[in-house]
């Protein structure tokens, strides 16, 4: 059996999404371009996450939009996480290109999902997610970072 290379389409093999499961999801921009230093692009992604929630496809718990990637924690209501991500990335990709007058891929095709297990503390996972701009040295306190959301008081 051949070992899949990092980032290859083989990473999706055996992926199973479960309705009701809470996931920490990470996805990056194509070639790690810093697209989300443009506030309009970051707002478009955040608005799209909230729209997916309003459509009943997920329950958004928290999100942080970094300059070149996105982290969010959500409970899946859609039957298929891959379809949810395809919808999010397809729409935001087209709209970001239109907004910036650009062409070509906006997102890397892959994403990383981590199912939150019962033994894990959801609050700690959310705080880990939200502290990304602090660990990256962008701010001293994530509350000062402009592109974050949390359903809970933190």
All structural domains of the chain, each given as residue ranges with its CATH number in brackets, are 16-150 (3.30.70.1290)
Structure tokens at 146: 């402009």
Ranges in the chain, pLDDT < 70 = 1-16
Strands of the sheet containing 148-150, edge to edge, are 112-115, 22-28, 69-76, 58-65, 148-150
Counting DSSP H helices and E strands in the chain, the numbers are: 4, 5
What number of other Cβ atoms are within 10 A of residue 12's Cβ? 12
What number of other Cβ atoms are within 10 A of residue 123's Cβ? 12
Structure tokens at 147: 């592109």
CA distance 74 to 6: 25
Residues 6+ apart with CB under 8 A from 18: 76, 115
pLDDT score of 18: 87
pLDDT score of 118: 80
Contact 26, 73 (CB under 8 A): no
pLDDT score of 6: 53
pTM above 0.95, yes or no: no
pLDDT score of 15: 57
């Amino acid at each position: 059996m051949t070992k899949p290379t990092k980032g290859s389409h083989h990473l999706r093999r055996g992926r199973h999404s479960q309705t009701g499961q809470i996931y920490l999801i990470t996805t990056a921009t194509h070639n790690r371009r810093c697209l989300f230093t443009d506030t309009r692009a970051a707002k478009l992604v955040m608005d799209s996450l909230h729209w997916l929630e309003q459509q009943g496809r997920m329950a958004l718990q928290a999100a942080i939009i970094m300059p070149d990637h996105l982290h969010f924690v959500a409970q899946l209501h859609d039957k298929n996480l891959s379809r949810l991500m395809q919808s999010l990335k397809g729409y935001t990709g087209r709209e970001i290109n239109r907004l910036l007058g650009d062409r070509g891929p906006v997102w890397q095709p892959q994403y990383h999902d981590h199912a939150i297990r019962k033994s894990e503390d959801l609050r700690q996972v959310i705080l880990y997610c939200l502290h990304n701009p602090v660990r990256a040295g962008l701010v001293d306190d994530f509350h000062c970072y402009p592109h974050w959301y949390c359903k809970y008081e933190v």
